[in-house]
Amino acid sequence: MAAGGDWWYLGVDLSTQQVKGMVIDDNLNVIHETNVKFDDDLPEFGTQNGVQVQSDKLTITTPVLLWVKALDLLLERMKAANLDFSKLKSLSGSGQQHGSVYWKEGANQTLKNMTADRSLHQILESSFSVKDSPVWMDSSTTEECRQLEKCAGGPQKLADITGSRAYERFTGNQIAKINKKYPEEYKKTERISLVSSFVASIFLGNYAAIDYSDGSGMNLMDIRAHEWSQQCLNACAPGLKEKLGDPLPSHSILGSISPYFVKRFGFSSECKVIAFTGDNPASLAGMRLQQGDIAVSLGTSDTVFLWIEDPRPTLQGHIFCNPVKSNAYMALICFKNGSLTRERIRDESGSVSWDGFTKAMKATSPGNDGNLGFYFDVMEITPSAIGVHRFNGQNCKVSEFSKEIEVRAVVESQALAKRAYAEKLGYKVLKGTRVLATGGASTNLDILQVLADVFNAPVYTIDTANSACLGCAYRAKHGLEAVLGQSFANSVKMAASPKLAVNPICEADKIYCPIVARYQELEKLVRNRS
Ligand code: XUL
């Protein structure tokens, strides 16, 4: 056991393509990081970019046992790196949002009796009633969405209750589909977890509560009352309240770690498990977002999020409960075509590396000579649209751009969408606005430059691109201090401040202001739904 003040905290993030672990010390310094990449490290599951696209192209799943095996491997790698697990005072984590896990009858008994001589994968092999978990990229539940909106009295009414109109990837609609398509499997389901609370359940050795913040991404929770909306539950599937368990505040201490981890890896039996949350709420914590800042996460999905005190849900974007302050909220906008689309354009432009991409971008100038494109390789969430649509400076549709123009067009278009949709949610770029960037692509200064120019605001980054994982390590620490009345901001005040990465060019506003307006006009021509 570690002596006095010398404690560590673990954050775990299970995202679309990998699971990551990060350990910080009492001074909030990162002292260990490791990851497991699903496609490369677990090729036996045959996923591509962490998922399986089913034949209808709309149903997108990940085998739940892949996630279990990835956790085995992550912990083995930490052990192989000689991490002293006994120094961990608490842990927390996050998961890709909206995805769901279906535990079979009897699974909780299995969780409570895990024996340290077997891997998690061996123990939990037959604990799930649905083997392929629907994930956030799924867009197969349009029918269920319309049904839920009808039962709630319309899309705006549903948004007023749950923070969002019905979205295909939101868990309530996914559960409704499972119940309709696989009624026997649904009946045999003892508990439904989000990806976040599923991982928490494993560490706890018991079903873990869904936290308020990730629970807001289900179209099922009343975000003001912090409880399930019976009206929404009824519209989705029978007996759902029991299968979900009661939601809890995101900073809750769920209990001590399962004896399995004490025996197998040497965790302290006192190590506490703090409620897990969604990856975007966790990023908000990792970036220590302040009111007025705008955060942009550049990952498999690109997201924009804001700190909100007075929520006014609309038909665009989502309002979630705030993960670090009770009675505050966060707004989130999710763009499905993020890094995979950037990588496709990079590869097709003949650039094998980001260097080539950058070179192509430097051959064009801000504003791209009026050329503007929309790049929705898969059905986009914001807006609901699909396909690649290119327009020249005269607003005429064209079938091709040169590779240089194409590279700048994809980066500009993604940044323009972020500004346009943040403004639709009422956000105003003011003097002093900071754009905080995170996620894999936030290490690319040329992409950040376009972001700074389009927002006409400086872009800052934190030391790690893994803000979700860092946010969970921070939340692990704060969970223990919250019971003593400590605020999250106080718990993490010693953390290093974000660093200035790029400033906007002087003529940024003049160039991009009219393009944001033009983007919104042209977007109307490519949308599926108004
Ligand atoms: C947010 C969303 C995605 C996932 C990705 O609503 O669907 O950002 O959380 O992991």
Residue of the CA atom closest to atom 6 of ligand 1? 334
pLDDT of residue 356: 86
Query: Per-residue pLDDT averaged across 166-189, rounded?
Result: 98
Instruction: Tell me which residue of 136, 66, 58, 142 sits closest to 100, measured CA to CA.
Output: 136
| pLDDT at 4 exceeding the cut of 60 | no
pLDDT above 90: percentage of residues in the chain: 90
Predicted local confidence at residue 428, as pLDDT: 86
What φ, ψ does residue 394 adopt, rounded to 5°? -95, 15
Ligand 1 neighbourhood includes 413 CB (under 6 angstroms): no
Look at residue 124 in the predicted model and tell me its pLDDT. 98
pLDDT at 507: 97
Q: Does the beta carbon of 96 lie inside 6 Å of ligand 1?
A: yes
> Which of 14, 38, 97 maximizes ligand 1 atoms within 8 Å of its Cβ, making it the mutation to test the pocket?
97
What distance in Å separates the CA atoms of residue 434 and residue 504, rounded to the nearest whole number?
A: 11
pLDDT at 530: 52
Q: What per-residue string of b and e applies to 63-72 under the rule 16 or more CB within 10 Å gives b? A: bbbbbbbbbb
For the chain, first and last CA: distance in Å? 59
Q: Is the CB of 164 under 6 A from ligand 1?
A: no
Within the chain, all domains assigned CATH 3.30.420.40 are found at 8-281, 288-463+498-530
Does residue 331 have a pLDDT over 80? yes
**CATH class name, domain 8-281:** alpha beta
- Mean pLDDT computed over every residue of the chain: 95
Instruction: Give the mean model confidence (pLDDT) for residues 468-473.
Output: 97
- CA-to-CA distance for 289 and 199, rounded, in angstroms? 25
Confidence of residue 73 (pLDDT cuts 50, 70, 90): very high
Q: Is the CB of 232 under 6 A from ligand 1?
A: no
SS3 53: strand
Q: How far is CA 12 from the centre of its chain?
A: 13
Q: Is the CB of 280 under 6 A from ligand 1?
A: yes
- Of 279, 330, 336, the residue with max ligand 1 atoms within 8 A of its CB, to mutate for a pocket test, comes to 279
Q: Is the pLDDT of residue 123 over 50?
A: yes
HSE of 226, CA atoms in CB hemisphere, 13 A: 16
Q: Is the dihedral of CA 147, 149, 154, 155 positive or negative?
A: negative
What is this structure's pTM? 0.93
Q: Which CATH class is domain 288-463+498-530?
A: alpha beta
In this predicted structure, the answer to whether residue 1 has a pLDDT above a threshold of 60 is: no
Residue 5 has pLDDT above 70, yes or no: no
Residue 334 CA to ligand 1 center (angstroms) comes to 6
Beta strands of 187-301 (E only): which ranges?
189-194, 221-222, 227-228, 253-256, 272-274, 277-278, 294-298
17 lines ligand 1 (CB under 6 A): no
Nearest-atom index, ligand 1, CA of 15: 10
98 lines ligand 1 (CB under 6 A): yes
* CB distance 351 to ligand 1 below 6 Å: no
When pLDDT is averaged across residues 174-201 and rounded to a whole number, the result is 98
Tens digits of residue pLDDT in 362-404: 999 999 999 999 999 999 999 999 999 999 999 999 999 999 9
Tens of pLDDT, residue by residue over 30-41, are: 999 999 999 999
**What average pLDDT does this structure show over 135-145?**
97
Assign 3 a pLDDT band (cuts: 50, 70, 90): very low
| 15 ligand 1 Cβ < 6 A | yes
Q: Is 213 in the pocket of ligand 1 (CB under 6 A)?
A: no
Cα(362)–Cα(68) distance, integer angstroms:
43
Model pLDDT, residue 349? 82
Look at strands 221-222 and 329-335 and give their pairing. Answer: unpaired
Confidence of residue 529 (pLDDT cuts 50, 70, 90): low
